[in-house]
Amino acid sequence: MEGVCEASFPPGFLHFPPVSILICICFVSSLFFFFANYKYIWLCSSLCFFKSVINNNNNNYYYYYCVTYSAYRNMSPHNKRSMEQKKRNKDRIAAYHGQRVNSHGGHRNSHSHSGHRHRGGHTVRRNRIYDPGNPFDRQLFDYLIVVDVEATCEYKNDNYPHEIIELPGVLVDVRRGVVDKERSFRSYVRPQRNPLLTPFCKALTGITQEDVDSAPTLQEVVKLFEQWYTETIPRGAKVALATDGPWDLKNFVHEHSILRDHISFPTIFYEYLDIRTTFAHFFNRGTPLKLVPMLERLQLTFEGREHCGFDDAVNIARLAVSMMRAGCVFNYLVAIPLTDEFHYDMPNTALYRRKEGSGYLDPDVVDDIAKKCFGVDYFTFGERHMAEVMEHRRRYPQNFNQRNQLWKQTKMKNRGRRLYGVRFRMVAVAVLALLGLVLFLLLIYRKVMTLL
């Protein structure tokens, strides 16, 4: 029997138990990491914290309380209102399900907060949200102005002094979900440093030398944009610029035009919504894509000529509308510091940035800023705009019936990816379990052989 045992297995394998024990330990550790949840780790850390509180005569708790209260006191209004809103929502849901009795005897809140009212258990912001289930009403702004500038360039020359030669502004009516090309802004710009366009620039942008020769200067175009904005945007509306990435406003406008050429721009050009970054986080797990792949992901095709400023802006606007229709909310605002002396305030505009700069915006704080800036015009526009939007939705119901269909398709794709990850983990656990079973049988077999 000993000869059979030595012939069946490698010499010395069964006579070295630490190897088997080490493999079993790895197997148990792998199971722990597969099934462990971060909540249990958080619970353990919380228990350790409270244990240290008791052992140190509440000194740690006093320090923790002081630090937390100080951080809350110095917190941005967007964070404060967001935390308070989350707490109110939790209390409302708990009271609705009978888990907690609120101060009104367990009944649903019927009083109105400042700028809010309750309909059927949903918090509705006055003059802004007309249908809580509509993804367009969950947006923070009433209008978006999509900007995609074109600049002078030269083939394979990164140090070329770029100058803006086209400044478009495509208007997006958020509540209607419409790209309004007829009321949009567009103007060519005459460059000053290099008046003659390079052949590469003409071929890339499609802009001719005659277009820029007869165009106004950049400072004059900015004044034309300001005039168009005053005539087009109703007073009291919340408006923000939107771009495909940071290059248009951060590089071409702020660095090249403002800081280098000392061109004055209104403060509305100092904050914007980044469509590419928002798309990456909402649809592509944080990986940014170019414009055409983003359009294809949402079953859209590029319309017009690529690298034409106005056509690019129109397609970015179409992409933004499709993203909103799929349930994406544009609530991350990129802020450019107001440290130069060339910016100025434009009428009928407001700055919605956070106190510390770029970050996520709270809807209530955005409304409060608009109320403080526009006063009575904020409510007047809200009532008038609500009637116009509801009439538009009754006239074109087909544009709002299937508003979440694209989001459902994207959700199903993400669900398929998650299921693939679950299957992969299950296969890994099965392989480890099989390995452990084989080792266990080998140990039993060795024990039986020694007894015989």
Q: What is the CATH number of the domain that holds 341?
A: 3.30.420.10
Highest-pLDDT range among 65-74, 309-318, 431-440: 309-318
**Within a domain: residue 366?**
yes
Highest-pLDDT range among 135-139, 223-227, 448-452: 223-227
Spatial separation of the C-alpha atoms in residues 210 and 118, rounded to whole Å: 58
SS3 166: strand
Number of other residues whose CB lies within 10 A of the CB of residue 382: 22
Residues identified as active-site = 150, 307
**Within a domain: residue 93?**
no
pLDDT digits (tens, 9 = 90+) for 27-49: 555 555 544 444 444 444 444 44
**Within a domain: residue 130?**
no
**Within a domain: residue 24?**
no
pLDDT digits (tens, 9 = 90+) for 119-142: 333 444 444 555 667 888 889 999
- Whether 204 has a pLDDT exceeding 70, the answer reads yes
Instruction: Please name the residues in contact with 195: beta carbons below 8 A apart, sequence gap of 6 or more.
Output: 212, 213
* Contact indicator for 202, 209 with CB cutoff of 8 Å: yes
**Within a domain: residue 311?**
yes
**Within a domain: residue 21?**
no
- At residue 156, the pLDDT reads 85
- At residue 14, the pLDDT reads 44
- Whether 334 has a pLDDT exceeding 60, the answer reads yes
- At residue 41, the pLDDT reads 44
**Within a domain: residue 3?**
no
**Within a domain: residue 384?**
yes
Element (H, E) at 168: strand 164-173
Nearest partner of 381 among 373, 215, 52, judged by Cα: 373
Domain region containing 223: 140-403
Question: How many structural domains does the chain have?
Answer: 1
pLDDT digits (tens, 9 = 90+) for 241-290: 999 999 999 999 999 999 999 999 999 999 999 999 999 998 888 889 99
Nearest partner of 347 among 236, 186, 182, 220, judged by Cα: 236
- Whether 22 has a pLDDT exceeding 90, the answer reads no
> CA 74, 76, 79, 82: dihedral to nearest 10 degrees?
110
Pairwise pLDDT comparison (306 vs 124), residue with the higher score: 306
